[in-house]
Amino acid sequence: MRSFYSWYKQHITGAIFTGLILGILTGLFLADRFAPVLTATSLIGGIYMNALNMMIFPLVFCSIIMGITSIGNIRTTGKITGYALLFFLSTTALASLAGLIIPRLIDLGKGVSFEMATSDIQATKMTSIFDTLKNLIPSNPVASFVEGNMLQVLVFAVIIGFTLIVIGEKGEPLLKVIESLNEVCLKIISTVMYFTPIGVFCTIVPVVEANGTATILSLATQLLILYIAFFGFAFLVYGLAVKVLGKASPVHFFKAILPAALNAFGTCSSSATIPISKTCMEEDFGVSDKITSIVIPLGATVNMDAVSILMSFMIMFFANACGIHISISLMTIVLLANVLLSIGTPGVPGGAIASFTALATMAGLPAGVMGVYISINTLCDMGATCVNVIGDLACCAVLKEKIKLENH
């Protein structure tokens, strides 16, 4: 049995990819014909997502504290955070620039027409940048965990981590409890990871079935262009960053992160991919957990490179399809707003709907476009989440080279 687990762990990337392909095919050709298939996959997919989500916040909380205290140096921790934020800000600027230029060059959406259905689906709650800053420090840390407010959990963990460094030996008992809890979280997550191929299969089937073949085919060209932009950006920008700044092989990097990328694609959640991302970077790419414990949760919260590309593509697509002219100056303002709003966008399925709702209003698009956007949101969100996660891991690869840490 142990030899099987060893073999399975070595081939889990192929198993995840197989689950992804089978899920797409099942959603297209079987799910709408056999109701039990859709029922079973929705149930199992929900269980898989709950199993991942169950440990996300305890793991993030504990790993950040362990990362900060293991460094034992406030200056080094600040350096890791500062470099990470600089990396994310720079790549978001490049993504916004690509989103500003590419849709105009190819006249995205010209000649396309569609029926705009109204939608009463609520967007994910999103706060303004000012509300986000005001609420950075949680008044009730327990409520932050219950409500799933990742940014407040991050800040609370940072405060606890720095305080434990300051009080020294007096904080050792609490630190040992947190260390034990961290090990429990890692063990549970590593067990859940064995079921990732099944989980990805079951989460993809309802997505494909809900959108339907007709919707997918009618927007296939637009989605293809969007995905070329997504992964062109990932391979070019992140690949160059890993090569030039991280002084590592981009081929090795993309091979190492494939399980995390595929999981992000299947679950549409950068937060749910945090445990797998940490495993990929630590075990397969040799990045210190002192870096991954800070950078990956931070990236899942603030790094929304692909969302910048997605929002600009979608706004230009709908504007051209509806015959609305959007000037470069207005689009620039919209993208700047998107960079600010991204901090308040949850790293969960549907988080991009909140961004699009706010930005479409700024761009003067009719309310009816929301019905069309929501119908294809998950198809877009899969690629966007995947690219965002790749960006988080590219940052880890760069910081591995830029910040030399002693291994204890």
Question: Does the structure show a pLDDT above 70 at 2?
Answer: no
Range in 233-242, 270-279, 313-322, 358-367 with the lowest mean pLDDT: 358-367
DSSP assignments along 328-342, one per residue: HHHHHHHHHHHHHHG
Q: Which residues contact 362 (CB under 8 A, 6 or more apart)?
A: 333, 334, 337
109: left (phi over 0), alpha (psi -120 to 50) or beta: left
Distance separating alpha carbons of residues 295 and 298, to the nearest angstrom: 5
**Architecture, CATH, for domain 2-402:** Orthogonal Bundle (1.10)
**Domain limits of the chain?**
2-402
Structure tokens at 343: 């901090």
Mean pLDDT of 60-73: 74
The CA dihedral of 133, 138, 143, 145, to the nearest 10 degrees, is 80
State what percent of residues in the chain have pLDDT above 90.
15
Give the torsion through C-alpha atoms of 239, 242, 244, 248, to 10 deg.
-120
Which pLDDT does position 243 carry in this prediction? 94
- Kindly tell me if the per-residue pLDDT of 404 is higher than 90: no
Per cent of the chain over pLDDT 70 is 77
Angle at 303 between CA 299 and CA 305, to 5 degrees: 145
Question: 30-48 pLDDT, tens per residue?
Answer: 777 777 888 888 888 888 8
- Do the Cβ atoms of 400 and 286 come closer than 8 Å? yes
Model's pTM, two decimal places? 0.68
Q: Are 349 and 269 in contact (CB under 8 A)?
A: yes
The predicted pLDDT at position 390 comes to: 95
